[in-house]
Amino acid sequence: MDLIHKFLNILAPPFTFFSLLLFLPPYWTFKFFLSTIYTFFTENVAGKVVHITGASSGIGEHLAYEYAKRGARLALSARRETALREVADRARGYGSPDVIIMRADVSKVDDCRRLIDETLNHINYLDHLVNNAAIGAAVMFEEVTDITNLRPVMDTNFWGSVYTTRFALPHLKNSRGKIVVLSSADSWMPAARTGIYNASKAALVSLYETLRVEVGSNIGITIVTPGYIESELTKGKFLLGPDAKMGVDQDMRDVEVSAMPVGSVSGCAKSIVNATLRGDRYLTVPAWFRMTYIVKVLCPELVEWSFRMLYLSGSKNNTPAREAPSKKILDATGIKNLFYPSSIQSPQVKTE
């Protein structure tokens, strides 16, 4: 057996390289041809049923508006009922013929079962499931006094999508529907203090790529990996400090986002819906952010060193947020007003 592996160790790299040289040009040509066709023949969602989790703010809220403009019937869920009602009213104004809301916490399996049941009881079928609900965390791994306090990140970001998807799956198969999963570019970026959040988003990519194999063409799955988009996270709302308690810290936001341009949430939502209706398998918003993945794959040591220098000032793991080079660069250049939308510069964030 060892001899077989030694043989494959020698043969696999050149075989793979030359196979790709032959295969990639026709493959890319075929993909370009398909994408051109799908651009002109996108799905019409008028009258179709779309359930969006985490719809009370941020990307989820604006996804509701984009689907509403296309005449979709909406089922919106989140933990904040008052905010949901406001979103529902605006969605009706944008053209949705039917909007229902459900107060729920997707980290609870019974709530996720109820979300799907109530949607089906009201409208009888389900065409699109948008798994958007998420929370952030920005704290050094070894600073957390009780590591189980970080469990809500995985419970919400990963298990919340798993639960809703499992209960919705038979109905989506019947309608040959679609699943939209909001992962993040952080799934491949090793930014300090966001390890558990990054892991939850990477887990989503792995799960839904595997699920895509299992369900085949019965259900379309679009995996979205946004970069920095205006939202509660880019307003500085994270689990923070040794106790990992939810709070708003704009200094920490400046550390994590630094001098990176933050995209508009409305533009992001529009891109997501357009990609979903085309049947795209992946979407990164903004598109240029996908290049960070290529850099990470080709130069992992350089990326890790850069992040350590920017976020931790070399070997100083206990660098306070206000002293991190990533924040100093932002403050010194004075480009926050240019790169950060005004909507995220105010510390006011909707409460739970």
How many CA atoms lie within 13 Å of 28's alpha carbon, on the beta-carbon side? Answer: 6
Of 118, 112, 116, 56, the closest CA to residue 85 belongs to 56
Instruction: Report whether 113 contacts 167 (CB < 8 A).
Output: yes
What region, left, alpha or beta, does residue 110 occupy, with left being phi > 0 and alpha being psi -120 to 50 degrees? alpha
43 close to 71: Cβ distance less than 8 angstroms: no
Peptide bond into 152 cis (omega under 30): no
Active-site residue (options: 67, 197, 228, 311): 197
- Find the length of the chain: 352
Distances in Å between the alpha carbon of 209 and those of 10, 20, 42, 204, 285?
29, 21, 22, 8, 19
Cα gap 242→11, rounded to integer Å: 50
* Residue corresponding to tokens 């999508």: 161
Most distant CA pair in the chain, distance: 68
Q: Which residue has the tokens 């995220």?
A: 344
Assess whether 197 carries a catalytic annotation.
yes
Pairing label, strands 237-240, 245-248: antiparallel
Tokens of residue 121, six digits: 């009881």
Both tokens of 81, joined, read: 């009922």
Helix (H) or strand (E) holding 274: helix 265-278
Residues annotated as catalytic are 197
